[in-house]
Amino acid sequence: MISSDVGLAVSREAESLKVPHFLTMSGSHEILKKNSRYTFRTCLPAAPENMEAVAALIKDKKYTRVGAIIADYAWGHSLREALEKHIKPMAGVKLQIEVAPVPEKDFTPYLRKLQAFDPQLIVATGHPPGNPTITRQAIELGMKAQVIGSWYPTEFMVQRVGELMFGRFVDYSCVDLESPAYRQLAEKFHAIYKRLFDNNAFSGYVMVKMVADAAQKAKSTDPKVVADAIRKGKFTQPGYGWPLSYTEWGEMKEARPILYTYEKGNPGPI
């Protein structure tokens, strides 16, 4: 399931019907409740965990000025809360947040407000649809800040921003891109579909294998039994970013978001 608003609505239905439901890119922290039993995250962690990775980056790079653009919907609001919880209290760090509509096509006004602030980092994680435009327009305005995305599909990002993004755009992944196991699967996927085996494709692959593994171990295809087996077990897929094990309410216990960037060069054999 992609989209926090959609994920929230479908999760309520899944809980009512008692049917397992898997979130790929639905990261609002409001989706899962302590009484959830049929909804599971698989790739994108809840918003606060994304900001923990950003906080670590800010500390490592010794950044003192951080800008953010968020969208006016569930995921954006979750990210705002996470920014104010994890980034705003950091010693010596100033934070400026701008809010834009979800369908916004021109981010120049928001970026100009940030430009006066001269951020060293722009967190675009809270505005997924705007990632390519925010990145491109920030660079065109002469801003030097790195831009952090929102688990944006790699192919679309490259198509919509092009070489401008090299060394300037940082994003998250639930895939260990340097793993030989991932590369082998990616080569097979590309040979058949001529597409990149990205977060969405790999997490979908893992969902199917995890459900099959749970059904096999439980010796049942009953939705409740399968959900119980997933919640109480652990599924490890070589090449994935982390093993999938869960709390009683479907949060990932071992999620470790991976930050990566794009550089110009030969990717090697595909």
The arrangement of strands across the sheet holding 65-71 comes to 94-100, 65-71, 121-123, 146-148, 169-173, 258-261
Domain ranges in the chain with CATH number 3.40.50.2300: 4-44+199-261, 47-173
Amino acid in position 203: S
Full DSSP string of 65-81: EEEEEEESSHHHHHHHH
Residue 67 near residue 96, CB atoms below 8 Å: yes
pLDDT 10s per residue in the chain (270 long)?
A: 777 778 889 999 999 999 999 999 888 888 999 999 999 999 999 888 889 889 999 999 999 999 999 999 888 998 999 999 999 999 999 999 999 999 999 999 999 999 999 999 999 999 999 999 999 999 999 999 999 999 999 889 999 999 999 999 999 999 999 999 999 999 999 999 999 999 989 999 999 999 999 999 999 999 999 999 999 999 999 999 999 999 999 999 999 999 999 888 776 655
Q: What is the structure's pLDDT at 268?
A: 65
Query: The tokens 């049942």 sit on which residue?
Result: 220
Domain boundaries 47-173, CATH class: alpha beta
Fold of 4-44+199-261: Rossmann fold (3.40.50)
Q: What is the structure's pLDDT at 267?
A: 65
Residue 121 near residue 144, CB atoms below 8 Å: no
pTM of model > 0.85: yes
94 alpha-carbon distance from chain centroid? 24
Buried b (16+ CB within 10 A) or exposed e, 49-74: bbbebbbebbeeeebebbbbbbbebb
